[in-house]
Structure 1
Amino acid sequence: MKTLMNKKTAATLALCLSMSVAAFGQNQVIHLPQTKASVSTIIKAIEKQTQMSVDFSQNTINLNKTVSLKSKSESLGKLMAQILKDNGNLTYKIVDRHIIIVKADNQGAPAVQQGKGKYKVSGRVLDVNGDPIIGASVMEEGTKNGTVTDVDGYFNLNSSKENPTLDISYIGFTSQQIKARSGATNKITMKENAQNLEELVVVGYGTMKKENLTGSVSSVSSKELAARPITSVKAGIQGLVPGLQVTNSQGRPGEDNASMTVRGVGTLNNSSPYILIDGIESGTMNNIDPNDIESISVLKDAASAAIYGSKAANGVILITTKRGKSGKPTISYNGTFGWQVATGHVERMHSADAAEYLNKALQASDKPIRFTPEDIQKFRDGSDPYGHPDTDWQDLAYQGNGFMHQHSASVNGGNDNASYMVSAGYLNQNGIMVHSNREQFNLRSNVDVKLSDKFAVHTSLSYINNVSSTKYNCLKIW
């Protein structure tokens, strides 16, 4: 009797909570940039501002349809009504953090693109605790025939095969592929994707304990850096870390002098974040090769950066370099090459045209003209290049070929008591302007030795030589 009462109480509370969430969602105001927007734009705004996912099939509604609104700010209920208007017999329901679009006469799972087969396949999708998974995608292998699970985790699917293969997927869970049986209720248990969950909390900042991660932390892995053809660490993390703003003051190779701020300007004088490489303070990122980096962590709020004291007032950037791994020696090489070009130039007015417009401006002011028709003709035909020049300075300045090539090689290995990682890198970068070239050579050696169960020695040696031809060089025109 006690168990029965608990189940009833839990069911009542769950129903009340679901109704409360649905009511709140209906009245929540959504802000749009303009009164006319496509269905796709409105759905993205709803998901971003409500933190709920809109579940539907791309064949169910017209995403390119333009919706006209009375105001830039509308309630969720009115927006959903506009989206579903003239899109067939559709309705929607709010379940937990899902806005599920279904057919008005459909009481089961919403159809994604139901097939017309004669075999009916049904089932239920649960997690390891036996709780239903709402909104899980159920697709028949090799087709577009599919559906999503309803509020109780059930699904119904029509198939042309008696025992079709189904692909079941859901965010945060490991996707599964099962051989379903028609005419029976197939029970599918999905397991959480532990790797994805760890990626949300595991960040590489050396040996710092996990209990110190109490605030906002973003991490960039070596794979993300390797996917970008970068020549500096600042260029590698630009756009990858929310809240980190990287501003380039100039474009000279090796001397971009990029400034960084974490969540805006925090102090009146120096607003740069506190940078540590393998736990050692460093005032810049220019002294490290991007290929030697294992991970970069950005601590953005006071809670996560508090252990570093007042120096962390503007945030902390923790860089961890690659170290040796136990096993046979492994040799790695990474090489890239490419060309850089100016994305665009300012359209230039020729000297003859400029002289004509200046004469017109002087005439309009009742002043004598500056250039005679003979002068303008000399500007135009180039017969007097020194007295009447028509020089394209942009063309003369941007004569650099922009070719660049980068090479990095490393060796790592070791055993349970000692490990090592040795790397060497070379970068040659020609600028798009003459006399703006850069050449870099770097070496790094990371050795770890375990002396006993309580003592270990970690050594990190690095050398980098950056030579730039931009300083003290003038632009040679002739």
Structure 2
Amino acid sequence: MKKFNKPRNRNGCPWRFDLKMKLTTLLLLAALFQVNASTYSQNTKIDLNLNNVKVHEVLNEIETLTEFKFFMDTKEVDLQRTVSIKAKRETVSKILEKVFQGTNIVFKVLDKQIALKPGVKKEIVDQSSGPDIGLQQPTISGTVVDNEGTPLPGANIVEKGTTNGVTADFDGNFSIEVADANATLVVSYIGFSTIEVPVDGQTSLNITLQESAAGLDEVVVVGYGVQKRVNVIGSISQVSSKDIENRPVTQASQAITGQMPGVTVIQRTGRPGQSGGDISVRGVGSFGATPNALVLIDGIAGTLNDINPDDIESISVLKDASSAAIYGARSANGVILITTKSGSNKKFSVSYNSYVGFNEATELPEFANSWEYAEMYNIASGSNSFSAEDIEKYRAQNDLDNYPNTRFLEDLFSRNGIQTSHTLTVNGGDENNKYYVSAGILDQQGIVPKNSFNRYNFRMNLQNKLGKKFELNSRFFGSLEERKEPQATANKGGGFLDQLVQNAVRYPATFLGVDSQGNYGIGPESGGTPVAWLDSKSYLTNPTTKAGVNVKLDWKPNEDLVFSAIGGYNFTLYEQRSYLASQRLNEDVFLGQSYLNQQSDKTIFKTMQFTGNIPRNLVPTILVYWLDILLKMKSFPCLMDIVRILLVMIIPLWILGVPKISNLGVMMQNGPYSLSFPD
């Protein structure tokens, strides 16, 4: 007797689903969910009997009796209007029609969500909610093209004054619902002028955009010079000083948060002096090494938080391999180029920028009171550790020295920190010499006592023309920073976060902070509490000194050709002193011997770079000439020999005439060298 094996898939499963069965199952599930959403809105009926109540009370009652949730702009919908509603087994839509009768408020039901906003009331059939949800807004459709009739896919169409918007499809077609027939549409597209189109009761629009030469000719900073924005759209993002100058931030990395597509800034702490964000470009590129992007300040490697935000002229982010190629492997996670402000050839000017702000804890977790903790502790432990009499004394709060209700976290985050910043700049010059000088002071107080950050910074940027063919750019900068934090006592041996903050969350309210005689509670571990540690002589101070110079010499043999030599020197002295003190809590308890930890790190960074621009149309000729020389050599030259050969070839070619310029970058920094021919 023959046996036939059932067909199995590669995983050994005897069942087999072809593509049609999978699609049928998927569509069936989607239909079931849609029917369920529509059925709920049609079949849900409630009873209401409310007299002389506010509109928001009616909406709250509906949310309580049903699964509906309301969404609205409270500036557009009057929730304080008084109404009376009587309903017997009526749908929510019928009730809402009564509530907003005589007003211009319309509503739309989507699944179990109801949106309220001003609009034109019109009886229609709502496809998602049933025939009795009868309100709709005008729908405008149309096409967006350029002046030659070519569709513009991805064009943005936004209702003016709102966040309501859509994008055109591949053929330039769009469809958008607007609040009323007299709305205005704002249409924009990269490289084209933005226009406003009034609807004027029309339902179909054909929109033509005109090219914007200004936007296409705008230049952005890239690794090997500047490029027209039209050539690098998508690979380069840039923000200017206007985008960040009004943001009251202490670290420059905070200023670009949300400013650039594809650039993510994660701020992991708000501690003064450590509130800078981690920057990743187009996601995380490495899990083993640091995912942070390479940061260059005027061509010299640094960190984004090394610079006063008021001194920044522009920030460019190179997001793809071609734009960042000149930096080699260091650019694997993207490159951030910061250009500082320069002097102008206008009259001497002085400017002053300052702000004052306050820091406070906006929301803290709610902890159990001491009597509540005592009751719950008895239940959880199955004991009578706290007697009924003790619990009543905790609740009465008449003897705080023996039956306290200490709020350790509130006592820790008790300060309203003041944050001030002052920047004074001097700017001026003439055709041949320009200068920009700035000095700034930042004082940031944290919301924890003894927690602060201070910074004093100085910058001087000079531009000098040395004859007709040479230009010297010199940039000098320096800063003094100091961060201070409170510490626990020596017996705890820990710092700010792992002792003060963590234990302020852990310690229950039944333990004493400080009594009326100035004695401190011993805490659950007989080592004190955060209240005592804050009053101790423990501290952490972290002074940092930074200084540097950046010099760039440009040689311009003619108007198109530029050779540059860049030299940089950065000095950083990082110091840290942590003192964990001894402390007497009361007459009977004295906490251990104090000790001091000191750390000092010095970093010196030196760099030398050479860059040059050569004609695009001569690149093939140079490469052929170079290969011919290499083939005739008996031994292969080193990289420095190749650079010398290139320079020898470029100078004669320039003498013969160079009509147009391309970019050739040659970088020499602490050893490795790289050549890059950008597009």
Shorter-chain TM range is 0.5 to 0.7
209-218 or 312-321, larger mean C-alpha shift: 209-218
Unaligned runs of 5+ in 2: 1-29, 39-70, 72-104, 113-125, 158-171, 173-183, 198-206, 489-532, 537-584, 586-679
When residues 315 and 207 of structure 1 are mapped into structure 2, their CA distance, relative to the original with a 3 A threshold, is closer
TM-score, with length taken from structure 2 = 0.44
Which whole-Å CA distance do the structure 1 matches of 2:136 and 2:372 have between them?
Answer: 61
Which whole-Å CA distance do the structure 2 matches of 1:417 and 1:64 have between them?
Answer: 66
CA-atom RMSD in angstroms: 4.1
Provide the residue aligned with 1:209 in structure 2.
226
Provide the residue aligned with 2:455 in structure 1.
440
The SS at the match of 2:363 is coil
Provide the residue aligned with 1:254 in structure 2.
273
Which whole-Å CA distance do the structure 1 matches of 2:277 and 2:309 have between them?
Answer: 16
Which whole-Å CA distance do the structure 2 matches of 1:427 and 1:192 have between them?
Answer: 45
When residues 380 and 412 of structure 1 are mapped into structure 2, their CA distance, relative to the original with a 3 A threshold, is same
Provide the residue aligned with 2:365 in structure 1.
346
The alpha-carbon deviation at position 315 of structure 1 amounts to 0.7
Contact 1:233 1:286 in 2 (8 A): yes
Give yes or no for the alignment of 1:230 onto 2:249: yes
Provide the residue aligned with 2:57 in structure 1.
none
The SS at the match of 1:396 is helix
Within-5 A mapping of 1:228-377: 228-256=247-275, 258-267=277-286, 268-282=288-302, 284-363=303-382, 368-377=383-392
Q: Which amino acid aligns with 1:274?
A: L
The alpha-carbon deviation at position 193 of structure 1 amounts to 3.7
The alpha-carbon deviation at position 91 of structure 1 amounts to 7.5
Contact 2:343 2:427 in 1 (8 A): yes
The SS at the match of 2:326 is helix
Query: Which of 132, 143, 147 is the equivalent residue of 1:95?
Result: 143
The SS at the match of 1:407 is strand
437-446 or 372-381, larger mean C-alpha shift: 372-381
Contact 1:428 1:439 in 2 (8 A): yes
Contact 2:108 2:135 in 1 (8 A): no
After superposition, the C-alpha distances for 1:50-76 in whole angstroms (9 at most, x for unaligned) are: xxxxxxxxxxxx98523459xxxxxxx
When residues 415 and 174 of structure 1 are mapped into structure 2, their CA distance, relative to the original with a 3 A threshold, is farther
Which whole-Å CA distance do the structure 2 matches of 1:89 and 1:437 have between them?
Answer: 54
The structure that has the greater radius of gyration is 2
Q: Which amino acid aligns with 1:423?
A: S
Provide the residue aligned with 1:122 in structure 2.
none
Runs of 4+, deviation exceeding 6 Å: 34-37, 80-83, 85-92, 129-137
Query: Which of 471, 476, 481 is the equivalent residue of 1:466?
Result: 481
After superposition, the C-alpha distances for 1:439-472 in whole angstroms (9 at most, x for unaligned) are: 2111100001111332111111111111222265
The alpha-carbon deviation at position 249 of structure 1 amounts to 2.6
Which whole-Å CA distance do the structure 2 matches of 1:442 and 1:371 have between them?
Answer: 57
When residues 218 and 389 of structure 1 are mapped into structure 2, their CA distance, relative to the original with a 3 A threshold, is same
The alpha-carbon deviation at position 312 of structure 1 amounts to 0.4
Within-5 A mapping of 1:391-410: 391-410=406-425
Give yes or no for the alignment of 1:416 onto 2:431: yes
Contact 2:239 2:314 in 1 (8 A): yes
Q: Which amino acid aligns with 1:359?
A: N
Which whole-Å CA distance do the structure 2 matches of 1:411 and 1:205 have between them?
Answer: 28
* Sequence identity percentage: 36
Provide the residue aligned with 2:534 in structure 1.
475
Which whole-Å CA distance do the structure 2 matches of 1:460 and 1:243 have between them?
Answer: 31
Which whole-Å CA distance do the structure 1 matches of 2:371 and 2:347 have between them?
Answer: 72
Q: Which amino acid aligns with 1:429?
A: Q
The alpha-carbon deviation at position 246 of structure 1 amounts to 1.9
When residues 205 and 63 of structure 1 are mapped into structure 2, their CA distance, relative to the original with a 3 A threshold, is farther
Q: Which amino acid aligns with 1:277?
A: I
Which whole-Å CA distance do the structure 2 matches of 1:424 and 1:461 have between them?
Answer: 12
When residues 206 and 265 of structure 1 are mapped into structure 2, their CA distance, relative to the original with a 3 A threshold, is closer
The alpha-carbon deviation at position 350 of structure 1 amounts to 0.7
The SS at the match of 2:289 is coil
Within-5 A mapping of 1:136-147: none
The alpha-carbon deviation at position 359 of structure 1 amounts to 1.2
Provide the residue aligned with 1:154 in structure 2.
none
After superposition, the C-alpha distances for 1:309-338 in whole angstroms (9 at most, x for unaligned) are: 000001111111000111111211111111
The alpha-carbon deviation at position 254 of structure 1 amounts to 1.1
Q: Which amino acid aligns with 1:426?
A: I
The alpha-carbon deviation at position 259 of structure 1 amounts to 2.0
The alpha-carbon deviation at position 209 of structure 1 amounts to 3.4
Which whole-Å CA distance do the structure 1 matches of 2:399 and 2:384 have between them?
Answer: 20
Which whole-Å CA distance do the structure 1 matches of 2:224 and 2:305 have between them?
Answer: 24
Structure possessing the higher relative contact order (Cα contacts under 8 Å, 6 or more residues apart): 1
Which whole-Å CA distance do the structure 2 matches of 1:447 and 1:89 have between them?
Answer: 60
Which whole-Å CA distance do the structure 2 matches of 1:294 and 1:89 have between them?
Answer: 45
The SS at the match of 1:379 is helix
When residues 332 and 214 of structure 1 are mapped into structure 2, their CA distance, relative to the original with a 3 A threshold, is same
When residues 236 and 427 of structure 1 are mapped into structure 2, their CA distance, relative to the original with a 3 A threshold, is same
TM-score, with length taken from structure 1 = 0.61
Contact 2:486 2:534 in 1 (8 A): no
Q: Which amino acid aligns with 1:391?
A: T
Which whole-Å CA distance do the structure 1 matches of 2:462 and 2:436 have between them?
Answer: 6
Contact 1:206 1:278 in 2 (8 A): no
Which whole-Å CA distance do the structure 1 matches of 2:185 and 2:144 have between them?
Answer: 20
